[in-house]
Chain A
């Protein structure tokens, strides 16, 4: 008892005389730093090559300086005059000055393109005015309207007011099939121009369908593989792993070869007499082609997590259930199935997340009806050159993926991810 009291009185010390608590804390923080320093190079690499580009996508989705940068004077006029002001002679002078300078710098088409996103058909208006603006005489209002009467349209001025600020949320509106009318109120775009919401819905529905198909056909295979003795199952496992390791383009090509109207499946069907020569099935360049090929490509991502969850389940549980009087169906449903839930969750989310972002396969075998949102993002980058709309679509897609990723982490834990 006396010793204990003495211990409480003076602190434990290390051999060099420092208090033990302090020395331990120091050693621990040193070890922490050492561990962190090992991760730091990769973390900074990922931040530069991954996180920063993603941040640029987010920025691009709300930022588009194509008009504001090239038409500064009219932008200034919009800032000093509130919304609803009738464009006066000063406004037209600023506009013509901008058109002249942008025409000389050959950037008027860029500005026109920005307006064209909001109001299709105005690109040529700008390029033409860019060519002719320097010949215009004051008063500019009359001469510009004389050049093309569209320059007087309130709708055009409304659009120009909106695009004159570089930061805008309008691309998100466009990405969900909304637009602003001349007064700036939000409304739906005309029915025949609604594309994106349908495409998002199609992408998610198709991904869900592929996930369900993969689960239905992957579950029995995973079950068989996990219940067979090792020497058979590792042989059958090759049949799952080989597609997993084979190039995506090879597998897509294989399906193109199989599904074509002159391809192997149709030839077999004709040869066996199930269909006649003029009834060849159309299985490619449509939704069906996308579904078949993507199911095949993503199936290993379902089977492998299921397998790794099913493998350690002891078969004695089901036997115990049977011996207690359960039918085989009840034993499966009440005893076996609940134990495979983590695998179903992992495989399902993995397949769903991967299929939502698919680009290559739909582009090659999807035709017009099998296109997904990724294909449209690619279209806006390469063909229509509307980067901000592509970025807005990508951001919406990313947000939904991150939601799923978070869900996955909650349900399964991201550090438990296993491969092969």
Chain B
């Protein structure tokens, strides 16, 4: 929207004012996320920039809050950081364990959601599918129903069947997170399938391929980008989810968001900011992956990148 040559002075003023307003709104969106990064290197336990930080004095910055993430009563402090020390950290440090739990739960929830979701999306995108609208509405609804209501339901359901006594660790949380991730998989995979040329499967069948060969050799490579981005959505949903974990997770099932929640509620320390920074870097890399996948998918489906 380049400014046309016949624009009146008022329109010119508005043109630039509009861009400034948009710039401020974008700043509002991005600044809070970026501001935690430098603050996490603060040498002092404050949530604002100290004089030393503003004058770029190296002593104003430190890695102490990152170091704090590795500590635990069991971890000795005054010893050299050799392999033995790291193995204790790996076993005992609360944040490391939280990260492990988050990844385990996220992994299994994502696998479940992606497998079931892709299968269902394949069925839903067939032209013969009966009651498509109604079934789609049911499958998408975990995204729309407020999390607190789902959590309340799971809380009643799990306590009535006593899922914590089944001896399968994380089971309740994994099932819940899979449910929350399924709508994302359905949406991304059906979107990929909407541009899918069904004559390809017929061509493959006419050349003698069995349905499973057709699926793995023809359909799968085409919908893979959609599956992966759906899986990433599902993983992020699980990785970021705290309400379900708080209410139905067992006490030892601490995840990163739950640990953060506890940390914020009790006494917020800059250690939270170092976790936040790590998570921001994590989401930047996820964003990059999704973008690459989108471009690849469009190239595969013959749509020029737009």
Write the residues of chain A forming the contact surface with B, with a CB cutoff of 8 angstroms: 28, 31-32, 34-39, 41-43, 45-46, 49-57, 60, 217-218, 220-221, 224, 227-228, 230, 236, 238-243, 245-258, 260, 262-264, 267, 296, 299-300, 315, 328, 353, 356-360, 364, 374, 377-378, 381-382, 387, 390-391, 394, 397-398, 401, 405, 409, 414-415, 417-420
Q: What are 7 A-B contacts defined by CB distance under 8 Å? A: A57-B156, A221-B25, A242-B33, A262-B47, A263-B47, A315-B1, A356-B146
Chain B positions within 8 Å of A227 at CB level? 1
- A260→B35 CA distance, assembly (Å): 14
CB of B155 within 8 Å of the partner chain: yes
- A264→B42 CA distance, assembly (Å): 13
- A252→B124 CA distance, assembly (Å): 37
Q: Known contacts A38-B122, A50-B153, A253-B273; can you find 5 more A-B pairs with CB under 8 A?
A: A45-B179, A53-B153, A224-B19, A394-B152, A418-B187
- A77→B178 CA distance, assembly (Å): 49
Q: A360 and B243: CB pair below 8 A?
A: yes
- B38 to chain A minimum Cβ distance, whole angstroms, is 10
Q: How many residues of B contact A (CB 8 A)?
A: 91
- A134→B132 CA distance, assembly (Å): 63
B144-189: which have CB < 8 Å to A? Answer: 144-150, 152-157, 160, 175-176, 178-179, 182, 184, 187-188
Chain B positions within 8 Å of A28 at CB level? 128
Q: B126 and A31: CB pair below 8 A?
A: yes
For A246, give its contact among B21, B147, B279 (CB under 8 Å).
B279
CB of B22 within 8 Å of the partner chain: yes
Q: A299 and B29: CB pair below 8 A?
A: yes
A-B contact count (CB 8 A): 261
* 1/0 contact string of B26-56 vs chain A (CB within 8 Å): 1011101101100100000011110000000
Q: B35 and A257: CB pair below 8 A?
A: yes
Q: B139 and A364: CB pair below 8 A?
A: no
- A394→B156 CA distance, assembly (Å): 13
The majority secondary structure among interface residues of chain B is: helix
- A234 to chain B minimum Cβ distance, whole angstroms, is 8
The chain A residue sitting closest to B154, CB to CB, is A53
- A390→B146 CA distance, assembly (Å): 14
- A262→B68 CA distance, assembly (Å): 22
For A230, give its contact among B35, B147, B306 (CB under 8 Å).
B306
- B233 to chain A minimum Cβ distance, whole angstroms, is 7
- A31 to chain B minimum Cβ distance, whole angstroms, is 4
Q: B280 and A221: CB pair below 8 A?
A: no
Chain B positions within 8 Å of A417 at CB level? 140, 187
Q: A267 and B240: CB pair below 8 A?
A: no
- A413→B122 CA distance, assembly (Å): 20
- A249→B279 CA distance, assembly (Å): 10
Chain B positions within 8 Å of A378 at CB level? 148, 247
State the 8 A-B residue pairs at the shortest beta-carbon distance, nearest first.
A357-B146, A53-B153, A38-B123, A42-B120, A254-B32, A39-B123, A35-B126, A53-B157
- A237 to chain B minimum Cβ distance, whole angstroms, is 9
Looking at B76-84, B86-94, B199-207, B281-289, the stretch in contact with chain A turns out to be B281-289
